[in-house]
Amino acid sequence: MEKEFCCTCGSKSDLTLLEPVLAKYASVPGSLITILQHAQDIYGYLPTDVLWHVAEKTGIKPAKVLGVATFYTQFRFKPVGKYLILLCQGTACHVNGAKLVEAALEEELGIKDGDTTDDGLFSLKTVACLGCCSLSPVMMINDETYGSLTPSKAKEIIRELRGKQA
């Protein structure tokens, strides 16, 4: 983890994209999380040079910016695939077989929780609870929710999305 954040050489995000956000929030106290959320919307994740830039513009120490960013599960430090799969691990999903769905997704995608496929298409992330418990097990792909999953249904959904690329 340390290595990931130690140096900004090599990364070259377009920092101008963040200007409107910083203009609005940089001097508003308590806005760090909001700024980071916007930054993640813009870049898809939080690149190291963006974190440094936020620190510089807000006057918040870089260590603190990183401390806040790493505290919350919403923030990512690696680019994600075109489709971000959020697999629910809530209690209802757990008792209705979310583990089997997870195994099926890992098998179909060839990646583990937190990783992205080599073709940059899919990222898999397990999350606490999506609040659609009556449809458990549930996953959310780019804000669309898929419910009542079975291992084979989950695989089918992935294949369908993959098919759309061709």
Q: Which residues bind another protein (CB under 8 A)?
A: 29-34, 36-37, 67-68, 71-75, 89-92, 94-96, 103, 127-136, 138, 143, 145-147
> Going by DSSP bridges, is the β-strand pair 122-127/83-88 parallel, antiparallel, or unpaired?
parallel
Whose Cβ is closer to another protein: residue 114's or residue 120's? 114
Contacts of 86 (CB under 8 A, 6+ apart): 125, 126, 127, 130, 139, 140, 141
Shortest gap between Cβ of 26 and another protein (angstroms)?
A: 12
Shortest gap between Cβ of 9 and another protein (angstroms)?
A: 28
Q: CA 43, 47, 49 angle in degrees (round to 5)?
A: 115
Whose Cβ is closer to another protein: residue 119's or residue 141's? 141
Whose Cβ is closer to another protein: residue 11's or residue 148's? 148
Shortest gap between Cβ of 153 and another protein (angstroms)?
A: 13
CB 22 within 8 A of CB 35: yes
Whose Cβ is closer to another protein: residue 79's or residue 131's? 131
The closest of 100, 111, 113 to 152, measured between CA atoms, is 100
Shortest gap between Cβ of 36 and another protein (angstroms)?
A: 8
* Strand spans (E) along 90-132: 122-127
